[in-house]
Amino acid sequence: MRDAHETPPAFMFATGIENSSPTIDGGRVRVDEMARCRHYERWREDFALVRDLGITFLRYGVPLHKTFVAADRFDWSLADQTFGALREIDIVPIADLCHFGVPDWIGNFQNPDFPDLFARYARAFAERFPWVQLYTPVNEMYICAKFSARYGWWNEQLKGERAFVNALKHIVKANVLAMRAVLDVRPDAIFIQSESSEYFHAESPDAIKPAEIMNSERFLSLDLNYGRRVESEMYEYLADNGMTRDEYHFFLDNTLKHHCIMGNDYYVTNEHRVAADGATRAAGEIFGYAEITWQYYDRYRLPVMHTETNLRDEDGSGDASVRWLWKEWANVLRVRNDGIPVVGFTWYSLTDQVDWDTALREENNRVDPLGLYDLDRNIRPVGRAYKQLIADWREVLPTMSVCLKVPVVMPSEHGEPWERRQRARAQARDEGGETPTAPANAETEGGRG
């Protein structure tokens, strides 16, 4: 039995500290959102704000480009302080190890050495912080590859299908190897893939085919990550653009899906209109979070966490972001009540961000009012609304289903007898082959009834 400790929250209400760090301008400029949002100076205050909101889970990671200084060389000075403080105040970090950028010495996502190097970093991190249980090894793998190697916006700033496939296979392989490395240290680790959930709408009959292709492609990162066989058209696309048979089979043979929660991000920009020539433009919210989440859940059959959302307040009143918060929360309750095991919700991020209005492509130092707090750490209307939402729902959700609960170890409970037993059981399950390792498509081919 569990020792006499407060049990972990039954539902993971979360926020995050924005830590994107891609390079732009041919690699000459590092976009360090932690610096731009002044987290380096104010991290103690930021953590106190998280606690004040009643939040127990925080998507958080130290900057990879500052911490991973060379192969097998690490500067843990910031991580020791910040993760130490999170442990002291008993906030559960979802460790965000790579958020859109790599250190200068690695170069970019075209580097074939990146997966092995990153796995060694993940192992070193897990050994340094063995009490951390929840991880997002690589954030938004699909978006990272797309913005870096197809749109030409970040990092390698390439435009082409071969560059995109190259980046994608390296990013997803890095994620898989990092999961394996962490599990070697922490057998009961849980991985929350934060991935953009998208949909492409054909705006004319001639646009149906390109829209269908895009709606298959949106699943590529998670298909590879979870060892799911891709559709034949996507297999041909990958092969035509440089993925070898052996590289493809690496993903089929190394599925760690049974250790994962499918984190999906949804913004008003996640749905697209597709023209006959394949050009896309923003569609706004058409289907919404509930419908698109069903599409992803039908495919992967994993527990779900809504890992990112926000809305820009154009007029400064806060009304639009508050309405968006309640709309997203209503969608979460809808899919949960309809049978999807939704285990968490996230407003991202804690504070406003900088230059996301141009997707970090330009260095304008323009504040984007997306946070629960502004950059002076004054609470926004959406922050007050989220605090009230958490207070209202945190005691109600457990009564809806006591089974929808992630086996989270609170930082203060690390090393307790029950926690050691949980880890031992997790290790025994994997060593005994009790978890599925063979590649498979979704367990249920049909949709919801």
H-only helix segments in 186-288: 208-217, 220-225, 232-240, 245-253
433 falls in which pLDDT band (50, 70, 90)?
low
3-class secondary-structure state, position 175: helix
Position 9 scores a pLDDT of 78
pLDDT in tens, 158-213: 999 999 999 999 999 999 999 999 999 999 999 999 999 999 999 999 999 999 99
Reply yes or no on whether the pLDDT at 153 is more than 70.
yes
The verdict on residue 340 lying in a domain is yes
pLDDT in tens, 311-333: 998 788 899 999 999 999 999 99
7 falls in which pLDDT band (50, 70, 90)?
low
Higher pLDDT, 440 or 149: 149
Measured distance CA(397)–CA(333) in Å, rounded: 10
pTM of the model: 0.94
Greatest Cα pair distance, the chain, in angstroms, is 63
Q: Which sign, positive or negative, has the C-alpha torsion 357, 92, 322, 331?
A: positive
Instruction: Give all strands (DSSP E) within 17-119, no chain letters.
Output: 23-24, 29-30, 57-60, 68-70, 73-74, 92-98
| Count of the separate structural domains present in the chain | 1
What DSSP element (H or E) covers 134?
strand 134-138
Q: Which domain holds residue 275?
A: 32-431
6 falls in which pLDDT band (50, 70, 90)?
low
The verdict on residue 221 lying in a domain is yes
The verdict on residue 5 lying in a domain is no
- Cα end-to-end distance, the chain, whole Å: 38
Higher pLDDT, 5 or 44: 44
3-class secondary-structure state, position 215: helix
Mean pLDDT on 103-115: 98
* Amino acid in the structure at residue 276: A
pLDDT in tens, 326-361: 999 999 999 999 999 999 999 999 999 999 999 999
pLDDT in tens, 175-189: 999 999 999 999 999
Answer whether 305's CB lies under 8 Å from 346's CB. yes
- Least reliable range by pLDDT among 1-10, 95-104, 277-286: 1-10
The verdict on residue 252 lying in a domain is yes
pLDDT in tens, 38-83: 999 999 999 999 999 999 999 999 999 999 999 999 999 999 999 9
**CATH code of residue 98:** 3.20.20.80
Position 315 scores a pLDDT of 81
DSSP state of 447: -
The verdict on residue 417 lying in a domain is yes
